[in-house]
Structure 1
């Protein structure tokens, strides 16, 4: 009886995790635009130092997104489909680079890109913290991230966890998620503020 119970538990957990992979595939296929708020916690490789920031996120497929960090420092990241712009309000400085060079196998590619399974190998990960997780491993050897996990609550994207090439861990927790809502086109257009410096890469 105990063996049967263990087998049943494993089977059910496998079904749950497979659903998380399906939820990510459905998200990539069916959610064409969206908005959310986020809280980001960055933890140093030794696990001792943490930095918390918050802001809002908007996207429109294909390859348009806008991250706005409001606290503790203001920073805006905008992709218009051709280029990615990063504006640091404190420095009054912007940088830009071609989208193809910047996007690749990155978290933004999962959220706003169009080629999820071309860029990532997807695998179910153990449920944790009330969320079902999917491991998305970059297929590009030169990717700047070691690992990427996405957490779903049912069909809704709730969290994302990234470990970069230096072992630094970033976790984004999403709230007030709105899927397939219209987002104004100008939200994905970057206008250089007056007096700001521009560095093109």
Structure 2
């Protein structure tokens, strides 16, 4: 009886694990655009210091996205499919670089890219707190990201966790997720504010 129960549990676990990877594949394949709010928690490598921020996220495949941080300071990261701009309102300064140089195996590529399995190795993780998790390991050896994990509630994107090359951990909790909704093309166009400095990389 115990053997049957264990076999049943393993089979169920296998199905749950497949669901997390499948959810990411379906998200990448079927969700062409979307928008959401997010709260980001950045934790230092020693786990003692935390920084909180929040904002909104919009995307249109392939490779167009906009992260707009509103608290505690304003910062915008915009990609139009060719270039990525980062604008810091406090410094009144923007930087830009070619998308191919900036995107690679990054969190943005995982959310808004179109060829995730070219850049990442996907592996299901144990379910936690009602969420199905999948780990995405960058295939590029020189990636600045140690590890990436995404969580889905059913088919809905819920959480992204990032550990960078320095061991700093970032967690983005998404809310109000809307998929395959119209997003204005202007949201992915960056216009340099008057008087702002531009650094092109």
TM-score, normalised relative to structure 1: 0.98
- Flag structure 2 segments of 5+ consecutive residues without an equivalent: none
Deviations along 1:46-76, whole A, 9 cap, x unmatched?
1111111000000000110000000001000
SS, match of residue 166 in structure 2: coil
1:84, distance to aligned residue in structure 2 (A):
0.3
1:90, distance to aligned residue in structure 2 (A):
0.4
1:31, distance to aligned residue in structure 2 (A):
0.3
Q: When the two structures are aligned, how many residues end up with a matched partner?
A: 201
- Flag structure 1 segments of 5+ consecutive residues without an equivalent: none
Q: Residue 150 of structure 2 aligns with which residue?
A: 150
Q: Residue 15 of structure 2 aligns with which residue?
A: 15
| Residues 18-97 of structure 1 aligned to structure 2 (within 5 Å) | 18-97=18-97
SS, match of residue 117 in structure 1: helix
1:6, distance to aligned residue in structure 2 (A):
2.2
| Inter-partner Cα distance in structure 2 for 1:85 and 1:53 | 19
Q: Residue 140 of structure 1 aligns with which residue?
A: 140
TM-score, normalised relative to structure 2: 0.98
| Inter-partner Cα distance in structure 2 for 1:156 and 1:140 | 27
Are 2:196 and 1:196 aligned? yes
1:45, distance to aligned residue in structure 2 (A):
0.6
